[in-house]
Structure 1
Amino acid sequence: MSIPTSSPRRTKEATVAQAAASPRRRRLGVASVTLMIIAASAPLTVLAGGVTTTFAVTGLLGVPLSFLILGAILTVFAVGYAAMSRHVTNAGAFYAYVSQGISRPAGVGASLTALMSYNLMQVGIYGIFGFTVSSFISERFGVDVPWWAPILVCIAVVAALGVNRVDLSAKVLGALVALEFLVVIVYDVASFAVAPEGLTAAPLAPSSLFVPGIGAVLSFGVAAFMGFESAAIYGEEAKEPHRTIPRATYTAVGIIAVFYAVSSWAMAVGTGPSQLFDAAGKQGPDLVFSFLGAHVGQIAADVAQVLFITSLFAALVSFHNAVARYFFSLGRERVLPGWLEATSHHGAPKAGSLVQTGIAVLVTAGFAIAGNGSELGPLYPVLTMFTWLTNAGAMGLVLLMAIVSVAVIGFFRRRPALRASAWTAVIAPALGAVALAVVFCLIVANFDVLLGLTEPSALSWVLPAIVVVPGLLGILWALRLRRTDAALYARIGHGEEGRAHHLGDEED
């Protein structure tokens, strides 16, 4: 479909598009994008928080194997996803992919689900960040600080980075992630060296995972990968997006899968399989820090605790960047208010960053007010804000990846001139869609367990609805736009390409 470009409005948008694509904005290479992805998964947070919780809640030893299986599933998903990224460069990755691969209404629905999911992940992490920092200050300095106070300070710092140069964020995250990896590697080596019950491969055996409860393990594990799919979000700021984004995606998935599998295996060996579940349930994140203090030295334990905080901070920055770019993309195409496409003089999505900051402040304030005097005590922000929001966000992102897999098939089917192989255009995306749909169903089936509930409650329905309902409303909104503004509707999901005739595009 041909898009008119002669009006003053279109001329202004074309100028914005040219600025967005200028070399000045294209600062990110493979290493930078990979670090942004890995930072979102927060290596030390996954080990100290996620892995210990998984062992404690599920009582299954096969957690290391689950990371390898999930890594294989996401690698298959990444085949079509990365191939499509070579042809679609858009800061609202899921939004653009679904729009061009399935339909524009589906794309708008996916965009709002993605926007909600990333916000839930980002804001939810603030809950454990506030608890961890306030506890650290209390233990080290004897000063009681309310959990929400460190969050407000952190929100301000993240906001400052969000409107600054994106490569500055990448450099900050790179330094923090490098230190995290170093600490976790030290922990892994020490664990295999101590091995109180000897070195065992039982955590990698299928019999340790493929038993009742596997759904809960996969549900916890998939959250550790969340953020790997965000590579395409940085396509408009990558130096060579057609090469940078696919390479960064594959690199990140491989590193995350292997690193977490080895580290969770080290935890099982270092603690001792017979003692693991009880120790993880009683100590939680302190399982890692106490082990380092006992076998490496207290300085190492203290450094690890500080890096646990910076690990959370790195994840917050990464998810903040993802949310800001979705706002920018939707504002640019007028699916959401146009002022959301405003950028700073550094080229960062300023308006989207500020809106995400406002959301974080409001949600934090709401939980702080609701939790005043809660019987949950200091753990309130962890057991509510962190647990509820991040699990709902992870569920939404898994659903979106399954839908994107279907979109990849549709995209290449509509564009035979691209000459993609059957493996890339059909087989891998189909396998990815089925596998991710299975993981999504397992998350839904185990959602009560993920929320720490012993029986279904209103939360079991409300939290999934927060992710799904915006998607349905987005579909209805797009259908309305098709009737009321045909030109705007035609541009949905096509970013800068929507201003010219799009290869093989057809009205949907």
Structure 2
Amino acid sequence: MTAPTSAPVEGTATGPGRLTGQLGVGAVVFMVIAAAAPLTVIGGNVPLAVAGGNGVGAPVGFLLAATVLLVFSVGFVTMTPHVREAGAFFSYVTTGLGSRAGLGAAFVALVAYTAVQVGVYGYMGWAANDLVTFFGGPSIPWWVYSFVTIAVVAVLGYRHIELSAKVLGVALVLEIAVMLALDVAVFATGGASGPVWSTFSPSNVLSPGLGVAVLFALTGFIGFEATAVFRDEARSPERTIPRATYLAVTIIGVFYGLSCWALVTAAGASDAVSVAQRTLDGEGNMMLDTARDYLGVAVRDVMNVLLITSLFACVLSFHNVLARYQFTLAHKGVLPARLGRTNPKHHAPSFASVVQTVTAAVVLLALALVGLDPLVGVFGSMAGVSTVGMVLLMTVTSVAVLAYFGRRPDAAAGRVLPTKVAPVVAILGLLACAWLVVSNFTLVTGGSAAVSTVLALIPPAAFVLGVALGGRYSLVADEPAG
């Protein structure tokens, strides 16, 4: 069914307001991959995975994370026709496990996305100042750039989603194109001493550092559930959402794995770890230095600029996801009714967007006043909270898939693999990932064990709070017709 193109009726939490749009598979995939911030992950997560993880075997960590998410996606998309509304994991958990678990999932999502959005604003402040000083400009406080970014995101988030999709699309094409050009250049010239085939040897893949590589790979996938968040604004969502989900996870996983392998090959098997470590020590930049060596200084400078656009695309996508979560919860009566209204001119959840802008600004201001470092203190800790939250959300969602089809044998008839086997395998894989995340959590947050423990407990605490309050609301949507 094609989404209507007429202007939606402005609604409240109990009214008929809905978001509309004509986003196709490509546009939705753009939004999801933009949220993953490919260039940011290659430039930041890859050196962390190589230096702190399993060395030259790190590229396989990204492929393993993608495999777990693909298995998870099987049950996720199989349930999509049975979930009536947008809301992503929140709506799926509500449909499968009821209002209490659904509200718990919604609270976890709000915490996770708010955390990673604030973290990226911190990263943006650091990266923008680094770019300006690199080209001879003055060094000013990182939070100035962060608040300028918040202002620009506020303007775009207030308007219709298709404008954001166009902005994200342009930025995404450029950053992927330059990274693919670097990948091709490395493999075409053979790197330091030919492709590092030892990347795939069991001794390197299964070394003790594999958990660290998988952890940073998972952090790079935060936001892929956005395929379902935009279902009301998608063209033929029953087909668009599943295709976009599979495409997004596959493209992100292959891109991460290939690019990580290219950087390892460029450095050489014997030097990859030391090159990555110099990046962490602030004595070099694994991605940018490789671009300079293989594509020239001009391309390195272009990639430096594109790192800023990558961060901007990332935070804009998270902003849009959060605004739509608030919009959906307002329609359920959980949040104030005004958050569930659409703007009659832009046909967007504009007030929810404004509230999200203010929330991010207040949290960021508090962190800046405390004097935290923008990378370790702001980005590191907030990314850690978000990673725990997203693994928790996906695990609960897989349980919801099992529960839903367990109650509906008619819907599961003849589909044992997607309705039973895949969710069980996904749960086991996600539990293993959860253990890897928690056991290596201090590497992400950069804080002490005590501080890291408190941060790791925030998403589970949000889930418990949602379950406790969920009995006050009826969040389960009617079953789709047919």
TM-score after normalising by structure 1: 0.88
Partner of 1:369: 369
Confirm or deny: 8 A CA contact 2:158 2:353 kept in the other structure: yes
Matches within 5 A, 1:47-58: 47-58=42-53
From the superposition, tell whether residues 359 and 15 of structure 1 become closer, same or farther in structure 2 (CA, over 3 Å). closer
SS of residue matched to 1:145: coil
Aligned-pair CA distance for 1:294: 2.6
Q: Does 1:469 align with 2:468?
A: no
| Other-structure match for 2:129 | 134
The one-letter amino acid of 1:344's match is N
Letter of the 1:118 counterpart: Y
- Alignment correspondent of 1:431: 425
Q: How far is 1:13 from its partner?
A: 5.6
Corresponding residue for residue 295 of structure 2:
296
The equivalent position to 1:20 in structure 2, one of 18, 21, 39, is 18
Name the SS of the counterpart of 2:220 in structure 1: helix
Q: Distance in 2 between matches of 1:96 and 1:258?
A: 29
Q: Are residue 406 (structure 1) and residue 362 (structure 2) matched?
A: no
For 1:387 and 1:213, the matched residues in 2 are separated by 19
Query: 1:432 and 1:127 mapped to 2: Cα distance?
Result: 33
Aligned residues of 1:190 and 1:270 also touching (Cα < 8 A): no
Mapped to 1, the partners of 2:35 and 2:433 lie a distance apart of 20
What's the CA shift for 1:470? 1.6
CA distance in 1, matches of 2:352, 2:13: 20
SS at match of 1:225: coil
Residue 107 of structure 1 aligns to which amino acid in structure 2? G
Change (3 A) 1:279 1:312: same
Task: Give the drift of 1:102.
Answer: 1.2
Question: Identity percentage over the alignment?
Answer: 39
Post-superposition, which runs of at least 4 consecutive aligned residues in structure 1 deviate over 6 A? 501-504
1:191: how far off?
Answer: 1.9
**Contact 1:101/1:408, CA 8 A, preserved across alignment:** yes
**How many Å separate the matches in 2 of 1:13 and 1:354?**
16
Q: Deviations over 1:276-318 (max 9, x none)?
A: 1111111347221122223311110110000001001010011
Residue 156 of structure 1 aligns with which residue? 151
Q: Does 1:249 align with 2:248?
A: no
Q: CA-atom RMSD, angstroms?
A: 1.9
Deviation at 1:402, TM superposition (A): 0.8
Q: How does 1:91-106 map to 2 (within 5 A)?
A: 91-106=86-101
Within the alignment, does 1:307 sit opposite 2:306 as a pair? yes
- Secondary structure, counterpart of 2:369 in structure 1: helix
Residue 278 (structure 2) aligns with: 282
**Other-structure match for 2:6:** none
Unaligned 5+ residue runs, structure 1? 1-10, 375-379, 482-488
After superposition, the C-alpha distances for 1:379-399 in whole angstroms (9 at most, x for unaligned) are x11011000001110111011
Alignment-derived partner of residue 359 in structure 1: 359
Q: Aligned residue for 1:84?
A: 79
How much has 1:194 moved relative to structure 2?
A: 4.6
For the residues of structure 2 that align with 1:423 and 1:139, how far apart are their CA atoms?
Answer: 53
**Structure 1 Cα separation of the partners of residues 166 and 138 of structure 2:** 32
Tell me how far apart the structure 1 counterparts of residues 294 and 420 of structure 2 sit (CA, whole Å). 51
Structure-2 change in CA distance of 1:32 and 1:503 (3 Å)? closer
Structure 2 CA distance for aligned equivalents of residues 502 and 226 of structure 1: 29
- Quote how far apart the aligned CAs of 1:141 are: 3.6
State yes or no: 1:457 paired with 2:449.
yes
Conservation of the 8 A alpha-carbon contact between 1:87 and 1:242? no
Deviations 1:239-267 (A, max 9, x none): 11000000000001111111111111111
Aligned residues of 1:27 and 1:239 also touching (Cα < 8 A): yes
Supply the AA of the counterpart residue of 1:397: M
More displaced stretch, 51-60 vs 311-320: 51-60
Alpha-carbon spacing, 1:12–1:261, altered in 2? closer, same or farther (3 Å): closer
Letter in 1 for 2:347: G
**2:213 matched to 1:221?**
no
CA distance in 2 between partners of 1:137 and 1:502 (Å): 53
CA distance in 2, matches of 1:205, 1:38: 29
Separation in structure 1 between the aligned mates of residue 462 and residue 455 of structure 2, nearest angstrom = 12
Kindly report which structure 2 residues correspond to 1:177-188, keeping only aligned pairs within 5 A, or say none.
177-188=172-183
